[in-house]
Homo-oligomer: A and B are copies of this chain.
Amino acid sequence: MSRKAARFEQAHHLSQLLVGIAEQAKADFTEIAASLGLPVHLARAVVALSEPAPMRDLAGHLACDRSYITSLADQLEERGLVRRVTGDDRRVKLLQLTDEGLAVRKAISDTVAERALVLRRLDDQQRATLTPLLEALAGVETAET
């Protein structure tokens, strides 16, 4: 019982750290997005669009419903960041960043590169130690490098 309680405490501590860090990372990203005049969900979509992608794929990538992607696409289009391009299969529409969209994407990534928590608070060696642990936690199949 005391064993179990100790395990819970440890798990709880680590989980809280993880969740807290993730929340801070998200808050940082939100702030970066806001500094560019974008709500987070639009910024995430822009980041996801490294290549033109069918709306359905984006839904998969962002883990949300197709109908929500429609709404995101509308908002991105209004802001001139994205255009809808009909695919070879004419049912499909690809979302493609405009020049302005590309510029915004670059601004986001540059700012993240400057400010990201994992870069600010850890040095190279710590990151090298951390990465495989996080990959294990995330359930990434370990390449036998």
Contacts and interface: CB of A to CB of B under 8 A. Distances in A.
Interface in A6-24: 7-8, 10-15, 17-24
A90 interface: no
A117 B22 CA distance: 15
Count the copies: 2
Contact of A133 (B8, B20, B29, B129): B129
Contacts of A119: 7, 10-11
B5 A138 contact: no
Given A4-B113, A22-B21, A109-B5, A15 B118 contact: yes
Interface of A: 4-5, 7-8, 10-15, 17-26, 29, 47, 109-110, 112-113, 116-119, 121-122, 126-127, 129-131, 133-140
